[in-house]
Structure 1
């Protein structure tokens, strides 16, 4: 009899966690805190801690190797432009889907919401200009300690370019970095054996603490976001795989399912990065040089799932407050959300900070975030799964187009 694979185990942990969390919330809510404190939280946090332990060294090693592996700086520039363009275009598509679906279904009119109790303290986010200026680390060691992903990426790219330029002189250092990367990927494999249990704990905590009543009250809002995420994943990412990469969307989602399951449970693109890179390289056949560059960058600035939440939440809050948004307002929402996805890169609680920026851009009260914050944890899980799928779809697209380009050049030179 064939043993169940990792995907089946993680999905089993996910479903069991959701069922157990919901049952305890419905029938034994008084004992939830004790069970959560001594069972669910330790399982989830140990798993999260193990993954986060590997993120910084893995990103550093992989991007240095990825940049060095690309060799030609012109190739790096070409891949970089294609990657960023893809992320900006898909983010625009994502928020447009969210706005359109919310305009049709109108979740903000589905019930009477207590606007007087809606509260949310806004946090000022850095501008796009400040983010771009702050990308260059004044102290790379401090960037590594703080886990500042954009600065780590920039530093690693420079090191990779230097290794390429110096060639034979640095082959010892390249070998050391390759060995370091191999060690990290081996550790990822070990950590993934704990994934089903960690997933169980994280989901049980999320579902058990939110409860059925909160989900029922905001059912229409949740339905719109989940529907928009599904449409975006199937059509935008499925279309990318089918028409731009020439692969089967079913193959893509089936192979990438383990990473999506972990992304769903952790609610963090960065925390899921070691697993999503391993799956992309081993299961989707993305070269290390492409995966090592595209996916860490995507985990930092590509937030399609979050952009969908921006669109739906903006329309929901406007409808709940009885405020009509003009066509120009909607265009402003799209532009602000796309720019905010870069401007808030690497900021903790990025989704709600971005939403506050979007709401203020069209004159909606930021306090309205208080209406949706109660179930944001559950929705954050779904949009993280979509975010990392977008990074992987982009990596597959870049890998296939580069492969085709190299074949054409080889044929021309033959």
Structure 2
């Protein structure tokens, strides 16, 4: 005789499946996390270590798996410029006076300068203390004849003048985010003091453009879990899980520095914002997972703004101002990574950096990190210029390219945490 329990089992299984789907479907962070885990599994199956498929097949499969991710980034990139410009302008016009705007901007600049300096200084300190490149120095990969150590002398007056985009059309065409941010700041400041009656049509057009941009972003977010899955699978399929083996000391040094910087942000949140660090991390989990997967602080600007407003209760005017601006100039994680990389390449090449050179590195990284585009791989470009300026052979950069995407994920996560941290700290600034 059959047990009377059996007929109810399929129903219970279906109910459980429905509950799981409903729970995951209502939480973007859960979908992104699931995509991340499945992407690691799929990438590991295609990786060189597994040996289940040929190298060419793995690369081809990874390229196809990355299609949703590339589409996601393309859609975000399509609306990024209008979204950044409108968000900054509307943030500046969000009920504040010019005096309040100066207060917010000054505090943001102080925060960015201090944290970027801390990141660069921490990177130099760890790089010199752990000396991850010392073990490779014995390989004699570079000869002294290739070294002509000479600190760079950045032309600061020209740098300041060049901040103003003399050709806005070129800045838009070249997607120069720093120039676009500066242009938006000028437009917002002018609109703040201009006659509101005369600028009403312009402000109305901004509202419409923002609504359209956010609608496109909402459509793109449906691809986010698939984007995370595909991009991670593609990275692991190409480089393999063991790509970091030969550079373990370097990778661990960077990760230790980024972890310390993340802890610093959480301490700041606890001391100055009076928020529990774990609750803060829970509130921003979906943003951090997406930032980790896309390696782009610019790509998560819409989600960062939404999270700051809905989860962290930051006024919309403050979030619209600090998040896009922070994604462009707040690059403490990138500065830390570059500081460690410079020390690593110098040690590997036998170049001894004096205390004066190390101080110059910190200052240079503060200047160059501010305005670095929030897109994948830009850190390597900046690093090449810095290394060449100090007379360190740039050929060594080829050694760290294999792990750059992995480290890019972590430093982008730290950068985005910094953007959300300063937004929380400044959420009451409009009331000052």
Q: Report the TM range for the smaller structure's normalisation.
A: 0.7 to 0.9
- Structure 1 residue 153 displacement after superposition: 2.2
The corresponding residue for 1:68 is 93
C-alpha distance 29-100 of structure 1, shift in aligned 2 (>3 A)? farther
| 2:7 aligned residue | none
Q: Are 1:33 and 2:56 counterparts? A: no
Residue of structure 2 equivalent to 1:3: 23
1:268-347 alignment to 2 at 5 Å? 268-342=296-370
1:208 — aligned with what?
Answer: 237
Q: How many pairs does the alignment contain?
A: 398
Deviation at 1:172, TM superposition (A): 3.9
Task: Provide the residue aligned with 1:196 in structure 2.
Answer: 225
Structure 2 counterpart SS, 1:107: coil
**Closer/same/farther in 2, CA of residues 130 and 251 from structure 1, 3 Å limit:** farther
- Is structure 2 residue 65 aligned with structure 1 residue 13? no
Residue 274 (structure 2) aligns with: 246
| Cα gap change, 1:282 to 1:115, in 2 (>3 Å) | farther
Residue 233 of structure 1 and its aligned partner are, at CA, apart by: 0.8
Aligned residue number for residue 196 of structure 2:
167
Question: Is the Cα–Cα contact under 8 Å of residues 126 and 343 in structure 1 kept in the other structure?
Answer: no
SS at match of 2:426: helix
Question: C-alpha separation between the residues in 1 aligned to 2:244 and 2:406?
Answer: 9
Q: Which structure has the greater CA radius of gyration?
A: 2
2:314–2:423 contact (8 Å) kept in structure 1: yes
1:199 is displaced (CA, Å) by 0.7
In structure 2, what is the equivalent of residue 104 of structure 1?
129
Q: Which moved more, 1:89-98 or 1:364-373?
A: 364-373
Q: Secondary structure at the match of 1:268?
A: coil
Report if the CA contact (8 A) 2:387-2:394 is conserved: yes
Partner in structure 2 of residue 356 of structure 1: 384
Which segments of 5 or more consecutive residues in structure 1 lack a partner in the other structure? 406-414
Kindly tell me: are residues 142 and 340 of structure 1, through their superposed partners in 2, closer, same or farther at Cα, counting changes over 3 Å? closer
In 2: Cα distance, 1:317 partner to 1:45 partner: 32
Residues 150, 346 of structure 1: 8 Å contact kept: no
What's the TM-score once normalised by structure 1's chain length? 0.87
Is contact 2:304-2:420 (8 Å) kept? yes
* Distance (Å, rounded) in 1 between the aligned partners of 2:343 and 2:398: 14
Alpha-carbon RMSD across the aligned residues, in angstroms, is: 2.7
Q: What's the TM-score once normalised by structure 2's chain length?
A: 0.84
- CA displacement at 1:142 relative to structure 2: 4.2
